[in-house]
Structure 1
Amino acid sequence: MAPTVQPIQAFQNAASHASRLKSPALATMPSVAHPLTVGCVPEHFSIPFFHTKTSPSNPFKVTSCPSGTGQMIKMLQSGEIDICVGLTEGLVAGLAKDSEKAGFKIVGSLTRSSLTWSVAVSPQQMQAGGLFEANETFAGVDQASRIRGKTIGISRFGSGSHLIPFVIPSTSTSNAASEYKFVQLHDIAGLRNGIATGQADAFLWERFTTKKYVDSGELAVLGSVTPPWPAFLFACRTEFLESAGGEERVREFLDGVSRAINSSVYSPLAEAAGQHGVVQDGIVSEICEKFNYASADVASWFETVEFSRDCREVDASAVGRCLCALQSAGVLNAASSVEPHVFFSSATTRLV
């Protein structure tokens, strides 16, 4: 039986509580009534938000977006959220397709490390006679590429689960965009159900989120893919950035997340001693408690992830690599390019 997932409302309440903890107020920050609304997927990568502190005049609240980056882009555009942490490929694709209508800009980064995606399938489909059974035909072939031509479950169109299949290496010479059929299943629960009922042949999701369902025997992993760019960026709706005090509020929030990473996720004492990447005492058990993970899995995850130490920095070349990969896969027009004034907010972001 899969572990019970903490209710989304509890996640929102706990994360938003951190914003009410006191931190030094900015002298120029106006009195505001509207909390900065932050969208994110309620998973382990959101742990810094539970420790983020902003000034009393700049409160924030967390809104759970379990359907991922595609959902958050829609919510930015509708004004339901002000800022989000989304997958790099989803945000880049959304901006490159129509930067004017996108209505948001990249303002920072949450991680320096890439995200590893598991290709999840039914265990029965990997047995003899199954869709993905092992045989000599596929010896030496990247197993993840075997999902081409299959029905892929996704959370939403424009989310990472929709875009990453296009950048899986393949020996095929045809355009990847013509080889997939997608079915929208909304979130991890819907995707798992899609595999169980045969609505989908496979889906892609973050490795450690998927692992507990693999360990229980509900799913099997056909392969994995790790794209060569940082996993998560912050994006803010343009209207909020252009509002009175908007840019300053975003800067303060991102600085607050940076402080949380440097003081609550990673150990300052270890950093001072030259030991980089040592996590703070208690952070592993906190993630286990909040997100129902095994401690060994969280410890393994920390060996693969590197949070940004300065969340206002963005690697522009990595964004360019993502754009090129999406162009090569046929997801984006070859004429698309990274224009700093279009993609990034110069008032909040430092390009490195």
Structure 2
Amino acid sequence: MASTRPLRVGFVPEHFSTPIHFAKKHYGLDAELIPFPSGTGHMITALRSSEIDVGIGLTEGWIAGLGKSQEAGDKDGGYRLVGTYVETPLCWAISTGAKRPEIKTVDSLLSSKIGVSRIGSGSYVMGYVLADERGWILPTAGVGGSNQQASPFSETVVLNTFENLRRAVNSGEADFFMWEYFTSKRYYDNGEIRKVGEIYTPWSSWKIVASTGLVQQGDGDGDKKLDLRVDDLLDKLNQGIKHFNENQEEAVQYISTKLDYSEEDAREWLKTVRFPQRTQGVDFKVVVSTVETLCKASVLKVGKGVDAYAMIARKR
């Protein structure tokens, strides 16, 4: 008998979460919404320890997490991709401390200390995407003639929260970190941190995943039967997104009063984001291109068992 317990849904309590709030407020979304301010990496841990059932987070974090599991021989991985939450790329701001004059440009960050929320998080993955884009990842001869990738950074400092990341670049514990631009902007405006540059994800930025316990594995054709509560969640998110698109002033009011953004920044962000009409399913080509980029950036390893097709429970 299927469970009737409300799903526990992990989400990042930022401006992108507004349609989730509308789905709950206006359309009867029956779910326990659990905020994860430290981001996607923390949600992966929570999914695998059965603390949450569904996560709404960053594409690169979910795919890197599953790819790492596959490389280690773990075919389950704890979750599967079931939906698409944001169609547009994410702009990652590259930030340092307000009084770090020695850090002038992005190129000055080579061999520096990168701050990340967690290993495998979006902030971690995008550091390597940045390094690949800049040509900082170079092969180095390994034992027995095998080639390994030299780290482009002198140290990776795990700091868990956005607040800790801001503190660390000012204390010198880390030299820079990467976080979503509009979330970072108010701290540029108040002088707490300084922007060095930015980089966009080369993929649509947010995906929805469900615990493998909510996915019927089926016959391997790529589309799996989902727990009915997941289907209902996706339907309610569609309604929340439609409400978001049709009620922009309500969205601005919510973002500027309940979240950590100014009204001006909320309005500017609205110009940059596009949610899908239907959250159901994930484009296989997006997953493949993300895996290819993560392999190129040495987050994942080519030929080590990474299977993009197996990551998806519901395809578009």
For the aligned pair, the TM-score class normalised by the smaller chain equals 0.7 to 0.9
Pairing 1:109–2:84 present: yes
Letter in 1 for 2:244: V
Q: Distance in 1 between matches of 2:32 and 2:264?
A: 31
Is the CA contact (8 Å cut-off) linking 1:108 and 1:313 kept in structure 2? Answer: yes
Is the CA contact (8 Å cut-off) linking 1:69 and 1:87 kept in structure 2? Answer: yes
Alignment equivalent of 2:22, drawn from 41, 48, 51: 51
Alignment equivalent of 1:260, drawn from 232, 240, 248: 240
The runs of 5 or more residues in structure 1 that have no matched partner are 1-28, 134-142, 268-278
Alignment equivalent of 1:190, drawn from 133, 152, 164: 164
SS at match of 1:52: helix
Pairing 1:327–2:307 present: no
TM-score, scaled to structure 2? 0.86
SS at match of 1:199: coil
Q: Which has the higher contact order (CA 8 A, sep 6+)?
A: 2
Q: Distance in 1 between matches of 2:297 and 2:272?
A: 26
What aligned pairs does 1:153-192 form with structure 2 within 5 A after superposition? 153-168=115-130, 169-172=133-136, 174-175=138-139, 178-180=151-153, 181-192=155-166
Q: Compared with structure 1, are the counterparts of its residues 55 and 239 closer, same or farther at alpha carbon in structure 2 (3 Å cutoff)?
A: farther
SS at match of 2:191: coil
Is the CA contact (8 Å cut-off) linking 2:137 and 2:297 kept in structure 1? Answer: no
Q: Hey, what does 1:83 align to over in structure 2? A: 54
Q: Distance in 1 between matches of 2:137 and 2:216?
A: 45
Q: Distance in 1 between matches of 2:191 and 2:260?
A: 17
- How far does residue 240 in structure 1 lie from its aligned partner after superposition? 2.6
The runs of 5 or more residues in structure 2 that have no matched partner are 140-148, 218-224
Q: How many residues align?
A: 291
Is the CA contact (8 Å cut-off) linking 1:148 and 1:179 kept in structure 2? Answer: yes
Q: Hey, what does 1:282 align to over in structure 2? A: 250
- How far does residue 210 in structure 1 lie from its aligned partner after superposition? 0.3
Q: Distance in 2 between matches of 1:102 and 1:31?
A: 22
Q: Distance in 2 between matches of 1:75 and 1:307?
A: 25
Q: Compared with structure 1, are the counterparts of its residues 31 and 80 closer, same or farther at alpha carbon in structure 2 (3 Å cutoff)?
A: closer
Q: What do residues 4-62 of structure 1 show as CA deviations (whole Å, max 9, x unaligned)?
A: xxxxxxxxxxxxxxxxxxxxxxxxx9672x21000011111111111115997x82111
Letter in 2 for 1:237: S
Q: Distance in 2 between matches of 1:281 and 1:196?
A: 36
**Higher strand proportion, which one?**
2
SS at match of 2:302: coil
Q: What do residues 208-247 of structure 1 show as CA deviations (whole Å, max 9, x unaligned)?
A: 000000000111100001021011101111013349x952
Q: Relative to structure 2, which stretch is displaced further, 210-219 or 175-184?
A: 175-184
The RMSD of aligned alpha carbons is 2.2
Letter in 1 for 2:228: E
Q: Compared with structure 1, are the counterparts of its residues 198 and 339 closer, same or farther at alpha carbon in structure 2 (3 Å cutoff)?
A: closer
- How far does residue 145 in structure 1 lie from its aligned partner after superposition? 4.0
Is the CA contact (8 Å cut-off) linking 1:177 and 1:330 kept in structure 2? Answer: no
Q: Hey, what does 1:11 align to over in structure 2? A: none
Is the CA contact (8 Å cut-off) linking 1:144 and 1:225 kept in structure 2? Answer: no
- How far does residue 323 in structure 1 lie from its aligned partner after superposition? 0.7
SS at match of 1:102: coil
- How far does residue 173 in structure 1 lie from its aligned partner after superposition? 5.6
Letter in 2 for 1:315: D
Letter in 2 for 1:306: R
- How far does residue 350 in structure 1 lie from its aligned partner after superposition? 3.3
Is the CA contact (8 Å cut-off) linking 2:93 and 2:195 kept in structure 1? Answer: yes
Pairing 1:232–2:212 present: no
Pairing 1:60–2:60 present: no
- How far does residue 197 in structure 1 lie from its aligned partner after superposition? 1.4
Is the CA contact (8 Å cut-off) linking 1:166 and 1:177 kept in structure 2? Answer: no
Q: Distance in 1 between matches of 2:159 and 2:114?
A: 10
Letter in 2 for 1:328: K
Q: Distance in 1 between matches of 2:249 and 2:183?
A: 22
- How far does residue 98 in structure 1 lie from its aligned partner after superposition? 2.1
Q: Hey, what does 1:343 align to over in structure 2? A: 311
Letter in 2 for 1:311: T
Q: Hey, what does 1:307 align to over in structure 2? A: 275
Is the CA contact (8 Å cut-off) linking 2:110 and 2:136 kept in structure 1? Answer: no
Is the CA contact (8 Å cut-off) linking 1:228 and 1:318 kept in structure 2? Answer: no
